Amino acid sequence: MGDEQVIKLLEEIRDLQKEFLANQKVTLQNQQASLQNQQLSLQNQQASIARQKAALQRSKVATIVLIVILLFLGVSFFVPIMGWLFSWIVRR
């Protein structure tokens, strides 16, 4: 193998190593961007979970308030209606 061929092969190896290194840098940048995206996604999911927990808590409170109102209305109207019905039955 002549000196020119050896030099050409060494230059080709050098060029391939430079290309490989450039590709590695791009790969590393992509991995870093991917990691940042995953961290942002995790933060968004945690915020969403917190909002869902708060909404669930509010719905529990609203349900309890609604039940109390319905019980109050039920008792308020049921007792007088039952009294009227009882008196109506007794008169007959």
pLDDT digits (tens, 9 = 90+) for 36-50: 999 999 999 999 999
Confidence at residue 8, expressed as pLDDT on a 0 to 100 scale = 95
Confidence at residue 81, expressed as pLDDT on a 0 to 100 scale = 82
Confidence at residue 44, expressed as pLDDT on a 0 to 100 scale = 98
Q: Give the separation between CA 6 and CA 13, rounded to whole angstroms.
A: 10
Q: Where are the alpha helices (DSSP H) in 1-92?
A: 3-91
pLDDT digits (tens, 9 = 90+) for 29-79: 999 999 999 999 999 999 999 999 999 999 999 999 999 998 888 778 777
Confidence at residue 2, expressed as pLDDT on a 0 to 100 scale = 84
As a whole number of angstroms, the longest Cα–Cα distance in the chain is 129
**Whole-model pTM over 0.75:** no
